[in-house]
Amino acid sequence: MTITGDPAQRPSRTSHVPNEGTAEAAAIERARRDMLNDARPRRRTRIGADVVCEALIRQGVDVFFGYPGGVILPLYDVLADYPELRHVLVRHEQGGAHAADGYARVTGRVGVCMGTSGPGATNLVTGIGTALLDSIPMVAITGNVPGALIGKDAFQEIDINGITLPMTKHNYLVRDANELPRVFAEAFHIARTGRPGPVHIDITKDALQQETHAEHPSDEEVVAGLPGFRPNVEGHPRQLKLAVGEIGRAKRPMILAGHGVLHARAWEDLQAFAEKTQIPVAHTLLGIGAMPEDHPLSYGYMGMHGWKHVNRAIQSADLLVAIGMRFDDRVTGNVRTYAPYARIVHVDIDPAEIGKNVAVEVPIVGDAGRVLRALLPMVDAVDPAVRAAYFEELAAWRRESEAGSWHGSGAWRDGYLSADYVVSRIGVLTDHRATYVGDVGQNQMWLARYAGFQLPNSHVSSGGLGTMGFCVPAAMGAALGAPERETWAITGDGGFQMTFQELMTLVQDEIPVKIALFDNKKLGMIRQWQEIIYAGNYHSAHLLGPDYLKLAEAFGIPGRKAAAPEEVDEAIRWAQGVDGPALVWFEIAEEQNVFPMMPAGKGLSDLIEKWGGADE
Amino acid sequence: MSDAAATPAAASAQAATPATPTTPAAAPAHAAPPARSLPGGGAQHRHVIVAIVNNRPGVLNRVSSLMRARNFNIESLAVSHTDAPDVSRMTITLRGDDVLVEQATKQLYRLIDVLKVQDLTADPTVEQELALVKVRVADANRAEVIKVVELYRARVVDVSEGSVIVEVTGTEAEVDALVALLRGFGIKELVRTGTVVMSRGSGSIEEATKR
């Protein structure tokens, strides 16, 4: 057959659709048409998007963080019908995920974030990963292309279900609106039950638009529908008895309190248990706040940049009672040399955490609160006098290590602004009763060490994943979650420059976050590692930054600078007085290190406390 | 302290101090503290795990993704329906020490779609694997191949001019043995199903899963 110039002579072709005439082809045609023409009729029926809103309200969600896009628009189309739901329009989906995370950390409730398909979904991924590693209850919602277009590389289509599969507690792809009530009920149940974690729900656009009469399941129906999800919350009586025996025999016991204590809201149980048994409490980075730091039995923060006295106590302990922590490498260092004299009682709600990083003598699978409440009547009350020698030694170690801290730092003596000093002043001037949100790196360690935490869930920090850029967006969520407390975002110039677009969200949604920006014009922790571990071979550690006052001004946020120790208090008080968000630019010493430091691969007894001349 | 003697430093510490860790007060001042034993490090051997899972799209992906991410090396994986249409059964064989396999089991339980996991390694079981082997033959040695096949209670299921297809059923070791012999004739193609296993006696993992 020859093709001639005359169109009439060409062979006829009715369509370019593959498999023309089949049901599949018709569905694709319909989906393509619907992508362009989807305004809902004035008088409308209940559609998938309504089910999503109803489910969020049923789960007690009052605020969530999202960013619209093509396939999630059906949901935004109905949002105005649900005034109970406050939607915060973020500037980047990553910010939305971190905000949901920050909200969840201060409230203990499930944080919700939302994005569209493709780039909207992939932008959420860092925030979901952050939530997974820190066991944060979160539900992330994404739209996806209409079901018939899945797998066709449609506009903004990516296999987000495949991407989030290894980094969520569970995930769903919903293609039928009738499944939405069950899926949402399950997702919230899974996210907050047992060891919390993020759950991702991907919903096709046609499911959001599909009419449905499906009813929301009861709590019992949800549990019955998840036979593979029955977390064990009660400690086994035999194991509890073994633990009581260990505790009774121990002469130098130490409690290691982790994030699990906060997840279980068991801070009072922890305190009661520690007081009855007279066991000092050390805490992990995420366990900060499990016990007020001014409590006589609170001993301090452990690990790579933890207090020397705490690590020393762990190394000499004969019993570690680990509660809701997972012996992360930042906590143990080299496991071979970790706590060499200690037997270990390990309480965790996730059986997979037990025996994962260290071998333990008494494993107890259960919820930290329930286990502590069960143990309390079983243990003998200990007279503090029995431990007098032990406590005296601990107190001496503590005095020594605290005296060698920022008071002696060279930066401080030379009139430079020392970051640890700023953190401690923020702690004091907020009466230790604000929410303190850290970023990642040196600022995170200074915050953990020097703010002086008194309240549970007042410390928000990306521990497991170590996500730079976490601070400002997480503080946004934290401020909305705990509006009765002041919220301080304590960030370095590196992390700040990753996500400061959310400053605009703070303004638009009137979220009164106070930002303490620690500017050393460096990626400080990178610089510190390069100085100490890579023989001073600095590369990419120096970081140019903008004029942060002009930057804040451009966003409409009042800003102020402090570059000398005597300006610190006034600047903090000024920020506290601002009605709304405020930024304080602290120009800190450029080459200050965080000490002590345990080099990676070394043990808790190998802390570096000084280096070169700068900090001597 | 099963593997405390693995390093020279630990070995000398063992000699200087009692086997059980003691408090610093009791330990001689000059002695290095005993090394803490790491989880695992025990004898490596083959384990057979059976997992009962929801029969839903993506479950196989979840299981294989988890095994990859957690650094467990799967030797074989066989999946099929059970008698209940909503439930599937996976038989996973992997190499490692007991601690590693216990971790794998616990990690599998973290998946919402995993209903029950059992390590059947130490139990009395029936274990079978099926293999199809396309063996190169000529007129001269066809009879010899068939003889070997009969010796192993395998059977020839297809014959053509230049090859035969041999079907063999047996334990992994039995299949290995026949495959090794057939390799001498030249293997053109080989496919194995992976091991499936069932515990002997009246106990049933499926019944134990039912709620």
CB contact under 8 A, B23 and A251: yes
Active site residue A525: yes
Best of A336, A361, A390 to disrupt the B interface by mutation (most B CBs within 10 Å)?
A336
Q: Based on the fold, state whether residues B61 and B96 are members of the same structural domain.
A: yes
User: Both B68 and B98 in a single domain?
Assistant: yes
Judged by CB atoms closer than 8 Å, whether chains meet at A252 and B23 is answered as yes
Most confident of A38-47, A561-570, A603-612: A561-570
3-state helix, strand, coil in chain A (%, to 5): 45, 15, 40
Whole-angstrom Cα distance, residue A501 to residue A327?
35
Eight-state DSSP code of residue A179: G
Token couple for A351: 């059986």
- C-alpha distance from A16 to closest chain B C-alpha (Å): 31
The answer to whether position B182 is within a domain reads yes
Region B52-78 average pLDDT:
92
pLDDT band at B26 (very low <50, low <70, confident <90, very high): very low
Q: Give me the residues paired with residue B197 across strands.
A: B127
Q: Are residues B104 and B140 in the same domain?
A: no
Instruction: Tell me the nearest-neighbour CA distance from B198 into chain A, angstroms.
Output: 21
Predicted complex: ipTM over 0.90: no
Region A6-27 average pLDDT = 71
- Tell which CATH architecture fits domain A34-224: 3-Layer(aba) Sandwich (3.40)
With contact defined as beta carbons under 8 Å apart, do A246 and A361 qualify?
yes
Using one digit for the tens of pLDDT, what is the confidence trace for A179-202? 999 999 999 999 999 999 999 999
Three-class SS state of A512:
coil
Q: Is residue B46 a contact partner of residue B165, using CB atoms and an 8 Å limit?
A: no
The torsion angles phi and psi of A217, rounded to 5 degrees, stand at -75, 160
B108 & B70 share domain: yes
The mean pLDDT of A50-78, rounded to a whole number, is 96
Give the dihedral sign, CA A262/A266/A269/A273: negative
Per-residue pLDDT band at B12 (split at 50, 70, 90): very low
Match 């920020």 to its residue by tokens: A575
CA distance A300 to A446: 13
B52, B205 in Cβ contact below 8 A?
yes
Same domain, B90 and B103: yes
Six-digit token string for A373: 């409440």
Residue type for position A204? T
What is the pLDDT, as a whole number, of residue B8? 38
Residue B135 in domain: yes
Active-site hit among A169, A205, A514, A522: A205
pLDDT at A335 over 80: yes
* Token pair in block for residue A547: 């004029």
What is the distance between the alpha carbons of residues B53 and B86, in angstroms, rounded to a whole number? Answer: 9
Supply the pLDDT for residue B1: 36
Catalytic hit among A93, A246, A486, A591:
A93
A308 is catalytic: no
Put simply, whether B39 touches A (Cβ < 8 Å) is yes
Paired tokens of A273: 């248990």
Kindly tell me if the per-residue pLDDT of A16 is higher than 80.
no
To the nearest whole angstrom, how far is the Cα of B40 from the nearest Cα of chain A? 8
Residue B141 in any domain: the answer is yes
> B139-148, pLDDT tens digit by residue?
999 999 999 9
Q: Give A98-137 pLDDT, tens digit per residue.
A: 999 999 999 999 999 999 999 999 999 999 999 999 999 9
Contact: A340, B66; criterion CB under 8 Å: no
Contacts of B5 in chain A (CB under 8 A): none
Among B77, B105, B122, identify where a domain stops. Answer: B122
Residues A488 and A426: beta-carbon distance below 8 Å: yes
Q: What is the DSSP string of A77-132?
A: HHHTT-TTSEEEE-SSHHHHHHHHHHHHHHHSSPEEEEE-STHHHHHHHHHHHHHH
Instruction: Tell me how close the Cα of B71 comes to any Cα of chain A, in angstroms.
Output: 13
A614 band by pLDDT with thresholds 50, 70 and 90? very low
How crowded is residue B95: how many other Cβ atoms within 10 Å of its Cβ? 14
Torsion of CA A443, A449, A453, A458, to 10 degrees: 30
Residues A359/B2, Cβ–Cβ less than 8 Å: no
B39 in a domain, yes or no?
no
CA distance A87 to A64: 5
Residues 6 or more apart whose CB falls under 8 angstroms from that of B36 comprise: A335, A336, A337, A338, A339, A340, A358, A359
pLDDT in tens, A537-578: 999 999 999 999 999 999 999 999 999 989 999 999 999 999
Helix (H) or strand (E) holding B93: strand B87-96
pLDDT tens sequence across B125-183 = 999 999 999 999 999 999 999 999 999 999 999 999 999 999 999 999 999 999 999 99
pLDDT above 90 as % of chain A: 84
Q: Is A405-587 the same fold as A34-224?
A: yes
pLDDT band with cut points at 50, 70 and 90 for residue A523: very high
Strand pairing category for B163-170 and B155-159 = antiparallel
Assigned domain for B25 exists: no
The sheet with strand A111-115 has its strands ordered as A86-89, A63-66, A111-115, A138-144, A198-204, A170-174
**Three-class SS of residue A393?**
helix
CATH number of the domain bearing residue B180: 3.30.70.1150
Tell me, yes or no, whether B138 and B117 share the same domain. no
Alpha-carbon distance of A562 to A566, in angstroms, equals 9
Q: Under a CB-based contact definition with an 8 Å cutoff, are residues A208 and A48 in contact?
A: yes
Task: Bin B192: left if φ > 0, else alpha if -120 < ψ < 50, else beta.
Answer: beta
- Is residue B159 assigned to a domain? yes
Instruction: State the pLDDT at residue A409.
Output: 52
Residue B207's pLDDT is what?
87
Question: End of a domain among B122, B155, B188?
Answer: B122
Residues of B with Cβ-Cβ distance to A351 under 8 angstroms: 106, 109
**DSSP calls for A285-305:** TTTTTSS-TTSTTEEEE-STT
**Domain locations in chain A?**
34-224, 237-398, 405-587
Share of chain A above pLDDT 70, in %: 93
Residues B110 and B138 in one domain: no
Beta strands in A260-414 (DSSP E): 281-283, 298-301, 319-323, 343-348, 362-365
Cβ pair B34:A340 closer than 8 A: yes
Question: Is the pLDDT confidence value at A491 over 60?
Answer: yes
Comparing CB atoms, the residue among A226, A340, A352 nearest residue B103 is A352
Per-residue pLDDT, A62: 95
Residue A604 has pLDDT above 80, yes or no: yes
The domain that holds B80 is classified in CATH as: 3.30.70.260
In this predicted structure, the answer to whether residue A407 has a pLDDT above a threshold of 50 is: no
pLDDT at B6: 39
* pLDDT beyond 90 at A593: no
Q: Do B135 and B149 share a domain, yes or no?
A: yes
Say what angle helices B142-151 and B172-183 make with each other, to 10 degrees: 160
Copy the structure tokens of residue B3.
Answer: 């593997």
Alpha-carbon distance of A362 to A373, in angstroms, equals 17
Domain count, chain B: 2
Q: Are A517 and A495 in contact (CB under 8 A)?
A: no
User: At A29, which helix (H) or strand (E)?
Assistant: helix A23-36
The pair of three-digit structure tokens given for residue A202, joined into one six-digit string:
């991907």
Task: For chain B, positions 115-134, list CB contacts with chain A under 8 A.
Answer: 115
Handedness of CA A180, A183, A186, A188 (dihedral sign): negative
Query: Do B150 and B171 lie in a common domain?
Result: yes
The answer on B105 and B171 residing in a single domain is: no
Report the percentage of chain B scoring pLDDT > 70: 84
Query: How sure is the predictor about A10, in pLDDT bands with cuts at 50, 70 and 90?
Result: low
* Structural tokens at position B204: 């049933």
Closest CA to A125 of A156, A169, A167, A159: A167
Tell whether B145 and B184 lie within a shared domain. yes
Instruction: Give the closest of A229, A341, A350 to B23, CB-based.
Output: A341
pLDDT of residue A19: 77
Closest Cα in chain A to B2 = A359
Residue in chain A nearest B105 by alpha carbon: A352
pLDDT of amino acid B97: 87
Helix (H, G, I), strand (E, B) or coil at A608: strand
Q: Is the CB of residue A150 less than 8 Å from the CB of residue A157? A: yes
- Residue B14 above 90 pLDDT? no
What gap in Å lies between CA A461 and CA A420, rounded to an integer? 17
Where is pLDDT greater, at B25 or A252?
A252
Give the domain range for residue B89. Answer: 45-122
The dihedral over CA atoms of A375, A377, A379, A381, expressed in degrees to the nearest 10, equals 140
Using pLDDT thresholds of 50, 70 and 90, give the confidence band for residue A8.
low
The pLDDT value recorded for residue B98 is 86
Please say which residue of B103, B122, B141 terminates a domain: B122
**For residue range A391-406, what is the model confidence (pLDDT) as tens digits?**
999 999 999 888 776 5
User: Distance (Å) from the C-alpha of residue B64 to the closest C-alpha of chain A?
Assistant: 10
Residue A615, pLDDT > 90, answer no
CATH 3.40.630.30 fits A405-587, yes or no: no
Architecture of A237-398 per CATH? Answer: 3-Layer(aba) Sandwich (3.40)
> Binning pLDDT at 50, 70 and 90, where does residue A38 land?
low
User: How far from chain centre, in Å, is Cα A83?
Assistant: 28
B23 touches A at CB < 8 Å: yes
Confirm whether B146 is domain-assigned.
yes
Confidence of residue B27 (pLDDT cuts 50, 70, 90): very low
* Phi, psi for residue A342 in degrees, rounded to 5: -95, 135
Mean pLDDT of A493-504: 97
Residue A23: pLDDT band by 50, 70, 90 thresholds?
confident
CA-based angle A128:A131:A135, to the nearest 5?
140
Sole residue written with tokens 């041999």: B166
**Which residue in the block uniquely carries the two structure tokens 């500037």?**
A91
Tell me the three state secondary structure of residue B133: strand
pLDDT in tens, A265-321: 999 999 999 999 999 999 999 999 999 999 999 999 999 999 999 999 999 999 999
B69: closest chain A residue by CA: A166
